Amino acid sequence: MSSKTGIPIWQVDAFSDRPFAGNPAAVCILDDFPDDQWMQSVASEMNLSETSFVVPTAEANSFRLRWFTPATEVDLCGHATLASAHTLIEQNQVDTSLPIRFQTRSGELRCVKAGSRITLDFPATPAAEDVDPIVAEQVCQALGLREATVLQSQFDLLVVVEDSSIVESLLPNLGALAEIKTRGVMVTAACRGSDIDFVSRFFAPRCGINEDPVTGSAHCCLAPYWANRLEKTSLVGYQASSRGGRVSCEIAGDRVHLTGTAVTVLEGRLLSKPTMETISTSTKITIAGTTRPYCG
């Protein structure tokens, strides 16, 4: 996709049906992966929660996919995967009658177009009740909560409160949250008397993201949690950030199907030419002794 006049890049608002809502992600389609530092520099320049880099494989409808925050590479990102699938569809790079297959650090991820929406097939990451009481107290203090249930998922802490109004009105101490050794902190509550089953917010200052507008991968934990408590397998989550966004969730065994829409808001070209250096998607990059978890 690169040319003498630059490398095409798009900005897409994911989990939204209108511009300037949902979660923005940049999408860059390349012939091959450049060196890591160039991709990290692009992600820093875009300054969005994630920038995705997409490279076609020799197989039809199959692509390698990597995600970078402004600070680091991550292992999984829901909204940037949705944005990538949306861009490939808009650019006529795929056969929409077949699944789009992404080869990633988290294994193969599949996306299917259904009308104006796209469904992502992601692994479920259920929460377990094994949080150190000291950590639970630190989290509650950082969030300004007197009482909450704190659980641990594969990469995040899940904080459950009594009412959706508590979620919406949170003013966390981001510096204190950044000190807690976890990818991010989800805060959630049931939403009664509406077509939305639960609300949430997601804070990840340790990953360089103070508050993520709509976090697809967080719903891989949120959906199983609320499915068990509400006794239903089809749910709708609303992430109550300033931009806001809806995520339709379907439990399918140990997988979660996340469905949403996306809107392209910007198209441009990168004039900085990368140094090419193919990196295996199975490679783990370690920063300060910690393998980077997934985000978004």
Q: 40 has which bridge partners? A: none
Alpha helix stretches (DSSP H) within 111-163: 133-143
Residue indicated by tokens 């950030």: 241
Token code pair at residue 134: 């000291």
Indicate the burial class of 31 (C-beta count within 10 angstroms; 0-12, 13-18, 19 or more): exposed
Q: How far apart are CA 108 and CA 293, in angstroms?
A: 17
Q: How many CB atoms lie within 10 A of CB 113?
A: 19
Residue 50 known to be catalytic: yes
Active-site position among 50, 162, 211, 231: 50
Q: How far apart are CA 293 and CA 58, in angstroms?
A: 28
Q: Which residues, including other chains, have CB under 8 Å from residue 137's CB and lie 6 or more apart?
A: none
Q: How far apart are CA 185 and CA 17, in angstroms?
A: 26
Strands (E), 32-164: 50-56, 62-68, 73-74, 100-104, 107-114, 117-123, 149-152, 156-160
> Residues with catalytic annotation?
50
